[in-house]
Structure 1
Amino acid sequence: MKKKQWQGWGPDEQAEQHYLVQPRALAGGGDVRHVSEFLRASGWRDKSKTGGPLRMESPDRTVRIAYDPYVLPGGWTIHGHADGANGEWSAHLGRQTPAEIVAGLTDALTRPCSAHAPNVWAPLQEQNWHTRFEGQDYMATSPDGTAWMQYRQSPDGAAMWWTGAQDKQGNGWTANFTPNTPMHLVQAFSTELASPDPVMRPRGRVPHSAQIRTWSMSVKPSQLSAWQQARITAARAATWARNSARSTRPRTSARPYTPAGGARTRR
């Protein structure tokens, strides 16, 4: 286990032990606030009841997100209403889906859709995932074999995206997206799923798995708070910029008034 020590903290704070975990897909659920605080900073409404599961709603009320750890199997449910471009859609992600990977999808819900055509497989191929056909299905597997993404199609024509991660002891998670899920959201999820960057977990929250690598690091509360605040600040800034752009957008000029008898030509 490698040791990393961060420098430059104040003398009065007590460092706490954390771990960087890789691959991220096997790092466990993590802190739900990584998702919820970003959404709040982006203008989403918190519909949660005290002591109950997390429930959030988009500013336009077209998307709802819930996280419920109190039921089995528990986890994330994301539901989008039908609009002019897409039909109704939903995504279900297991409780141990890392919050950083969930945030790939939920963060994308706060941003305008890119003009470029989405490609779910591109982020996976860029990280050397093995892609292939398996009968009617198309499959991508991580280089270490612990994570996968699959577009499944049953004989009756029903289709869905199925993804997840599992170690040799059987620990892990699965998630699925209905076919109508906007492709840019699935691509945002696959980008975070394939990312080689480790994620951080506090001591006692690191899964027991022979297939993860960990690096010990000392983190002071102020440093951890600053990292979290930077993400929230970025969300607020992006939301402010979008709202400002809408409010300053020029209105279409009204047509000049023309008398009912038509315009007169001056001679």
Structure 2
Amino acid sequence: MKRQQWQGWGAGEQAEQHYLVEPRALAGGGDVRHVSEFLRASGWRDKSKAGGPLYLESPDRTVQISYDPYVLPGGWTIHGQAAGTQAEWWATLGRQTPVEIVAGLTDALTRPRSAHAPNVWAPLGEQHWHARADGGHYTATSPDGSAWMQYHQGPGGEAMWWAGAKDSQGNGWTAQFTPSIPMHLVQAFSTALASPEPVMRPRGRAPHSAQIRTTSVSVLPSQLSAWQQARITAARAATWARNSVRSPRTRTTARPHAHTGGARIHH
């Protein structure tokens, strides 16, 4: 019997060169669809105008996310409206913030909040970031010194979360969070920021910096598509599961217990 290659996977494809970049904080912005497609699959409304910046709104309309590359300095703006006991909050992230780090925060917006008290510093400590206190500032710096996370308290009591990364040439990004932002979102961000996992960039899109390490890999377009689709499928499955639990049709049956995250809290 003559063996045939499955036409849907790799038939006639040419492998493309990509690079695994580390540390991830210096990898550059990346493909915005890594963030936006996950949110769309999670039920967020795409309210972008043709040719304009990206603009997405949460299903309950309490959170808006925009990405505008057409203005300076440009980048991400995430706005949470006041709701119940939650005060209005904002987060701004520069355009060179890697999308994998942005997604740490935005993915968390689609998930139920853990019952555990959030600890922003725990993920950084687990990756051996250096922490120091200086007056009203508390700062954690990555082992190579290229990335940081800071809690800053001014003389008037005003507080601000600040994070970012910069190489020796001055290329990088910063992110700011108002003190009213839910702390589990800042912890999700710090977890993505500190992750030792490299991120992938296409040929020609990896930054030129002496402080990054790159590993060349050959990737088939179908492989890339499958990885992207797996992320979208996971978002759709989680959204379907949440909506099924909320559906009136399930009121006559026992609801499954939600599993809370097993995050370890470091004091």
Instruction: Please say if 1:12 is aligned against 2:44.
Output: no
Match of 2:75 in 1: 75
Q: CA deviation at 1:11?
A: 4.8
> Matched residues in 2 for 1:82 and 1:117: separation?
21
The residue type equivalent to 2:190 in the other structure is S
> Matched residues in 1 for 2:147 and 2:134: separation?
16
Q: CA deviation at 1:144?
A: 0.4
> Matched residues in 1 for 2:171 and 2:156: separation?
31
Could you tell me the TM-score, scaled by structure 1's length? 0.90
| Deviations 1:82-140, CA, capped at 9 Å, x for gaps | 11231000000000000000000000000010000000000000000011101111110
Instruction: Please say if 1:234 is aligned against 2:225.
Output: no
Could you tell me the TM-score, scaled by structure 2's length? 0.90
> Matched residues in 2 for 1:249 and 1:229: separation?
29
1:249 to 1:115, Cα distance in 2 relative to 1, 3 A: farther
Match of 2:170 in 1: 170
Match of 1:35 in 2: 35
Alignment size in residue pairs: 243
> Matched residues in 2 for 1:96 and 1:86: separation?
29
Unaligned runs of 5+ in 1: 1-8, 252-267
> Matched residues in 2 for 1:47 and 1:90: separation?
19
Q: CA deviation at 1:10?
A: 3.0
| Deviations 1:213-244, CA, capped at 9 Å, x for gaps | 00001111100000000000000000000000
Match of 1:98 in 2: 98
> Matched residues in 1 for 2:10 and 2:174: separation?
42
Instruction: Please say if 1:208 is aligned against 2:208.
Output: yes
- 1:209 counterpart SS class: coil
- 2:192 counterpart SS class: helix
Deviating above 2 A after TM superposition, structure 1's stretches of 4 or more consecutive aligned residues are 248-251
Match of 1:89 in 2: 89
- 1:238 counterpart SS class: helix
Unaligned runs of 5+ in 2: 1-8, 253-267
The residue type equivalent to 1:217 in the other structure is V
| Deviations 1:243-266, CA, capped at 9 Å, x for gaps | 001114527xxxxxxxxxxxxxxx
Match of 1:182 in 2: 182
> Matched residues in 1 for 2:222 and 2:157: separation?
53
> Matched residues in 2 for 1:134 and 1:14: separation?
54
Match of 1:22 in 2: 22
- 2:124 counterpart SS class: helix
RMSD: 1.0
> Matched residues in 1 for 2:148 and 2:115: separation?
27
Match of 2:251 in 1: 250
